[in-house]
Structure 1
């Protein structure tokens, strides 16, 4: 889109484990305890903050490192056909 001068931008948020209601829905249970079952995760509030950082910034990708759980804003990771 950028190469064609489009005003719209596509951005990608790549989270790691995030404390949400999804675990309850996926398991068909209630009360899944992230603290007791997931060694590292972000809260939904933290992830929302990351999303706002991505939205407000000029980078294309917001990614959580799967080892350190640090959030990083980056340029596109892979080339696309019009960017060679």
Structure 2
């Protein structure tokens, strides 16, 4: 039993726990949902296709499940965070 306790103790820090600093990081390519249609048509050099952009906005408006928790689209976007959030956390931890 003593060996088990020694092993557990070797995995723990000794002393008082404290926060040494707080960092922050943001994805380099985030964009607000309400701005996405304008962004998309700008980066694809399609701003002249006004009727298509309006149709795209209407699709987003008519499919609110794309913005709601628990819906398929939301779950897909949320699954991406599993990969990216730890990377952002590491980046924030490394910044002074």
Same fold (TM over 0.5): no
TM-score when scaled to structure 1?
Answer: 0.30
Larger Rg: 2
Greater strand share, structure number:
1
Q: Tell which has more relative contact order, 1 or 2 (C-alpha 8 A, sep 6+).
A: 2
TM-score when scaled to structure 2?
Answer: 0.28
